[in-house]
Amino acid sequence: MTRTTSQRRRRLGRAVAIGAAAALALAGCGDKSDSDGTQSAGGLTIQPLVQVDLDGKEVPAADTSAAADPAGDGKAECAPQTIAYAGPLTGPNANLGLNIVRGVKLALDEHNKANADCQVAVKEFDTEGNPQKATQVIPTIINDPSIVGLIGPTFSGESKATGQVLSDAGMLALSPSATNVELTTNGWKTFFRGLGNDGVQGPAVANYLLETGKYKQICVVADNTDYGVGLAATLTETLGSVADPSCAVNVKEGDKDFSAAVSKLSAASPDAIYYAGYYAEAAPFVQQLRSGGVTATFISDDGTKDVEFVRQAGDASKDAVLSCPCGPAPDEFAEAYKEHSGFDAGTYSTEGYDLATIVLKGIAAGKTSRADMVEYVRNYQGQGLAREYQWGPTGELTKALIWMYEVK
């Protein structure tokens, strides 16, 4: 892609508002990409409904006309630099990580083609989204002196397991997707979250559901990951009496047989079932719910919001309501992403792109030591494709919103 092409795409992308008209679904191997820009699996698409605030109130989509361009002014000069990505590239929820790293690579490609005198590479490290594997991978990143900063870790569990060692090493950990609230309460000095946390997502989704007036009884189901447990807790607290404790269910990551849960939920006959977890379990779970005659609305989160959920669950995913701190990808970004990677943009693709762009801007500004890069991000403020990025003292964004989606 030439610099002219990159500039054209940026101009076009800025003219396209992020909104429901974008109707973007999530990325995955072999996705169908329709002429109107939607991505689908088996004819079903994940379509944006509305962006909401903490109170569940609608918030208009942001204007991204000033979104940072990784190409910059094309005049950057630096010795060859390296950043790292750490997250799932294989494993049951690999697609969530692949979405990110493809966004990172697109940003690097646009930067490198525009800046011949400042070339930046990415080293990829596969954690499978597993905390134990992450603890084996992260020391390799820390001990590689060529790496100036890290995009990741990706999941909350692996972030929790490695945050302190990354902080002690002074290594920037810029996560595009880890949403557990407690991650920013540990005193880590180098962890920055690139999207809203579950302390925003849980209450925002709960308040949105309450605002609709459709749901009088919701059964909350949580997996046993840090992500699922934390999100279920914040949602349940906000739902209050609408979250029926008598039909709350706990499941485990890796479960495939949900017959006991289906039996309990069938007996409860709720208006909706909320699942806090990832698509690898959400897909067979919703299939078994429908096979068991449970017709309650299926509601889930960003861990489920992936085209693989739709592909694996098939028709059982129809009408599912999903939330995400991530917004729909603008049309022209989606086009560039598809052309570059061969895959459709999905959950966290824009976050991967935006966060890599911030690191690239830091490198272009001469911040090529780990300490300088951490300080650059700490003091950064700027618009991205997904949102405005500015962090408070704990590494939380100063402003975060949630998008609601529906499978249709």
pLDDT, one tens digit per residue, over 69-117 is 999 999 999 999 999 999 999 999 999 999 999 999 999 999 999 999 9
Average pLDDT value for residue range 128-150 = 97
- Whether 199-324 and 1-196+325-408 are alike in CATH topology: the answer is yes
DSSP conformation class of 336 = H
Q: Pairing between strand 249-250 and 321-324? A: unpaired
In angstroms, rounded to a whole number, what is the distance separating the alpha carbons of residues 292 and 17?
Answer: 41
pLDDT, one tens digit per residue, over 230-274 is 999 999 999 999 999 999 999 999 999 999 999 999 999 999 999
Describe the strand order of the beta sheet including 147-151 as a list of residue ranges: 120-126, 81-87, 147-151, 173-175, 191-193
pLDDT, one tens digit per residue, over 172-209 is 999 999 999 999 999 999 999 999 999 999 999 999 99
Task: Please provide the average confidence, as pLDDT, over all residues in the chain.
Answer: 90
Which class in CATH covers the domain with range 1-196+325-408?
A: alpha beta
CB atoms within 10 A of CB 271: 15
pLDDT at 195: 96
In angstroms, rounded to a whole number, what is the distance separating the alpha carbons of residues 206 and 388?
Answer: 24
Homologous superfamily assigned to 199-324: Response regulator (3.40.50.2300)
pTM: 0.86
202 CB-contact burial (10 Å; exposed 0-12 / middle 13-18 / buried 19+): buried
Nearest Cα to Cα of residue 3 among 75, 78, 105, 82: 75
pLDDT at 5: 39
239 in Cβ contact with 209 (< 8 Å): yes
Dig out the tokens for 89 from the structure: 């590239």
Nearest Cα to Cα of residue 23 among 369, 401, 344: 344
Cβ-based neighbours of 355, under 8 Å, separated by 6 or more? 104, 151, 174, 176, 194
Distances in whole angstroms, Cα of residue 265 to Cα of each of 221, 281, 290: 10, 16, 11
Confidence of residue 27 (pLDDT cuts 50, 70, 90): very low
Find tokens 């950043």 and name the residue.
83
Nearest Cα to Cα of residue 185 among 177, 197, 170, 171: 197
Distances in whole angstroms, Cα of residue 307 to Cα of each of 42, 67, 96, 243, 394: 10, 26, 10, 28, 33
Domain limits, the chain: 1-196+325-408, 199-324
In angstroms, rounded to a whole number, what is the distance separating the alpha carbons of residues 264 and 128?
Answer: 32
Does the structure show a pLDDT above 70 at 7? Answer: no
Dig out the tokens for 301 from the structure: 């989160």
Instruction: Give φ, ψ of 62 to 5 degrees.
Output: -75, 155
User: Beta partners for 272?
Assistant: 218, 297
